[in-house]
Amino acid sequence: MPLNISYYETEDGYLLRKIDGYGQTALGGYLLNGGEAQTTWDPSWWRFVCPKTETPVLEGPVWYENKPLYWERLEGTPASFPERLEYEEGKTAADNLYRLVTEKVNRGRKVQDCIFTRLGEIVWANLEKPEEFSFKLAKESSWSGDANERLLEIKDIFSSNIWAESFIQVADIQRAMTPSFAWHLGPCTLPSNIFYRVVRAWVKENLNGKYATITSDYDFVFEVKKILPCKPHEVKYTRPFGRTKRERSKVYVQLEKDRKVSVFHITHKQKVHGTEYGAKILPDITGESLNDLLLNIKAYLDETMTMINAPLQICPHCEGSGIAEEK
């Protein structure tokens, strides 16, 4: 069955995509007019630097054949059996007594039967290469989402699998009118729920526990409180829900050296939670291109961590109480 090959001519060769019964497939190890396949930022498109001809010739990867040599006696087989048996096609030896010894023989490449579809010409050098990036995504609880360790990477904008709609998005008209290897050049969006997972993972990895602490860490709400130093003082409290009458009536005393104030409290559009308690809905984040989107994400993360990790010291006037003495 012939392979369906779509291609663009470039200034120094071709840009190819192979489609078979299983969808788009890899071309690693193939040769086109003698040029080796090179990966691009889009996993479905492969670049070949090679001479251009009226009808390109695609050769498959080098394939190897296991050539049978002889049968070798297994360890534990009685010594009365021959150490080796000559291999004869169509005849076998007992598997529990002998093993077949083979060698790999290079059988070269095969020219592929292809149906080529020319899509046009492009200048590869004019295509802006997307910047490499990798962000961790916070795991979601197994009962509500993706409990596996995941990364947000370049491939997520070009993906044609089930993740495509959930990660970096491009407009439908952009998908329809532009080849996938150029999607990153137009407007890109990271949805609120995925941006939330990026932010949540980033804060957890970069938070300085000396200055702030995480008080809520869920799929739907995330809160960080600033640790504000103050003059050590005793706080008295009771436990109205204690198990015994004695526990409920006892007055407890605790020495406090700081107090905590919420400084970062977010939720996302897909699972809005806690807005009545001050949580802000994290919006979708966009960019004029993939590189611009990346800059916007980094700027937000840097600004957030600068605020959360800002060092504080006790105010010499109010000693952390937030109240100045009357002069």
Q: Give the model's pLDDT for residue 242.
A: 83
Residue 315: CA count within 13 A, CB half-sphere: 10
pLDDT exceeds 70 at position 324 = no
Query: pLDDT tens, 36-78?
Result: 999 999 888 999 999 999 999 999 999 899 999 999 999 888 8
Query: pLDDT tens, 102-115?
Result: 999 999 999 999 99
pLDDT exceeds 70 at position 24 = no
Q: Give the model's pLDDT for residue 321.
A: 60
Band of the pLDDT at 322, cuts 50, 70, 90? low
Contacts 24+ apart (CB under 8 A), 152-160: 152/190, 152/194, 152/198, 154/41, 154/130, 154/184, 154/290, 155/43, 157/130, 157/183, 157/184, 157/188, 157/290, 158/41, 158/42, 158/43, 158/44, 158/183, 158/184, 159/43, 160/23, 160/24, 160/44
Q: Give the model's pLDDT for residue 201.
A: 94
| Residue 178 tokens, joined | 């532009």
Q: Give the model's pLDDT for residue 319.
A: 63
Average per-residue pLDDT for the chain: 86
Q: Give the model's pLDDT for residue 235.
A: 74
C-alpha–C-alpha distance, residues 272 and 285, integer Å: 17
Query: pLDDT tens, 126-169?
Result: 988 898 888 998 888 766 566 677 888 887 887 654 344 458 88
C-alpha–C-alpha distance, residues 133 and 128, integer Å: 15
The pTM of the full predicted model, rounded to 2 decimals, is: 0.75
In 78-171, where does DSSP find H-type helix? Answer: 155-158
Per-residue DSSP letter, 162: T
Of residues 212 and 25, the one with the higher pLDDT is 212
Q: Give the model's pLDDT for residue 88.
A: 84
pLDDT exceeds 90 at position 89 = no
| Residue 259 tokens, joined | 């107090």
Q: Give the model's pLDDT for residue 163.
A: 40
Query: pLDDT tens, 220-273?
Result: 999 999 988 777 767 787 888 888 888 888 888 877 777 788 999 999 999 999
High-pLDDT (> 90) share of the chain, %? 47
Average pLDDT over residues 294-306: 96
Average pLDDT over residues 80-96: 82
